[in-house]
Amino acid sequence: MNPMKIAVAGASGRMGRMLIEAIRNDADAQLAGALDVPGSIGIGTDAAAFLGHDSGVKIASDFATALADAQYLIDFTRPEGTLAHLEYCAAHGIKMIIGTTGFDAAGKAAIAAAAEKIAIVFAPNMSVGVNVTMKLLELAAKNFSEGYDIEIIEAHHRHKVDAPSGTALQMGEVVAKALGRDLNEVGVFAREGVTGPRDPSSIGFATIRGGDIVGDHTVLFAGIGERIEISHKSSSRASYASGSLRAARFLAERERGLFDMQDVLGLR
C-alpha cells in the first residue's frame, strides 16, 4: 500500500505536533502538508523541526500550498478554522479527520453537509479507551434508569477553551439516549445559589480546568447506599493521535459519508 498522504491543520498546536510525530512513526503514513493560521509561530518553518527532524514540509497558512499533495486533512484546531478547512477540502476531494470540539448546531450541520461530498470521521475523542467507555456507559445507563442520579465530571489543562469538553457532552448524549431522554432538555450545566432539590431526570455537568491535565472524564451514577463511577483518564495525547491515524486508514476505502470513532472501531 502507498503511504497515506496526510496534512495536519493546527500544526504548531498540542495535537498538531503529536500528530506530526505519530505520522513520522507510521510506515503507512506520510506528512504531505502542514497548515496553521497566518501569524502563527511556526509559519515557514519545517513542520517536524520541534522533533529535530527535517520533514521537507513547511508550515503554510494558505490552503492551496498546504493541501496541494494531501489526500487527508487531520484537523484539531478551532471550530471556525475547521469550517474554513472543510469548505476547501469538500471542494478539492480531501478526506477529513476532525477532532476539533466546541461546534454549535450550524457547524455540525455544515460538517454533515460536506460529508455528502467527501468522507469524514468526526469525533470529540479519538482514543480507543474513551470510545469503549461509551459502550460501558450505554450498558450502565440502561441498568441505572431508576433511582440513580447522573453527573458527568471532566477535568482538562488550563489552556482548554471550550466547556464542557466534547467528550463529556458525547457521554451525556450516550447516557441520555440510553434512558430515552433528550440532553437538550435534561442537561444541567451550572449550579449556583438556591438551586432547589435535584431533578431526578437531570444529567449534571461539572468542569475542572487546571495545570497540564490531559483529559479526565467520570460519569457518576449516585444511588441510595451505593455509587458507581465509570472513569477514563488520559495521561498522554498519543492515544488521540493513534486513533486519528486509525480513522484515516478507515477512510481509505470510503469516498463520502460521515463517520465517528464508533464506526472506525466497529463498536456500533
Ligand X SMILES: NC(=O)C1=CN([C@@H]2O[C@H](COP(=O)(O)OP(=O)(O)OC[C@H]3O[C@@H](n4cnc5c(N)ncnc54)[C@H](OP(=O)(O)O)[C@@H]3O)[C@@H](O)[C@H]2O)C=CC1
Residue 131's binding partner out of ligand X, ligand LZUJQKHR, none, with CB under 5 to 8 Å set by partner kind: none
| Contact flag: residue 204 with ligand X (CB under 6 A) | no
95 catalytic residue (yes or no): no
Give dist(CA 144, CA 24) in Å, integer: 45
160 catalytic residue (yes or no): yes
Query: Of 85, 95, 156, 217, which residue is the catalytic one?
Result: 156
User: What are the two backbone dihedrals, phi and then psi, of residue 196, each rounded to the nearest 5 degrees?
Assistant: 75, 170
| Contact flag: residue 124 with ligand LZUJQKHR (CB under 6 A) | yes
| Contact flag: residue 244 with ligand LZUJQKHR (CB under 6 A) | no
| Contact flag: residue 166 with ligand LZUJQKHR (CB under 6 A) | yes
- CA atoms lying within 13 Å on the CB side of residue 51: 19
33 belongs to an annotated ligand binding site: no
Residue 36's binding partner out of ligand LZUJQKHR, ligand X, none, with CB under 5 to 8 Å set by partner kind: ligand X
Which one of 47-55, 77-85, 169-177, 216-224 is the stretch in contact with ligand X (CB under 6 A)? 77-85
Query: Where would I find the beta strands (DSSP E) of 83-170?
Result: 95-98, 119-122, 149-156
Give dist(CA 78, CA 100) in Å, integer: 6
Q: Which residues contact 157 (CB under 8 A, 6 or more apart)?
A: 209, 210, 211, 212, 213, 214
Give dist(CA 189, CA 211) in Å, integer: 22
Are 10 and 36 in contact, with CB atoms under 8 Å apart? yes
- Binding footprint of ligand X on the chain (CB under 6 A): 10, 12-16, 36-37, 40, 76-78, 80-81, 99-102, 123-126, 166, 240
- Binding footprint of ligand LZUJQKHR on the chain (CB under 6 A): 101, 124-125, 156, 160, 165-167, 215
Q: Which residues are annotated as a binding site?
A: 10-15, 36, 99-101, 123-126, 157, 166-167
Residues with a known catalytic role: 156, 160
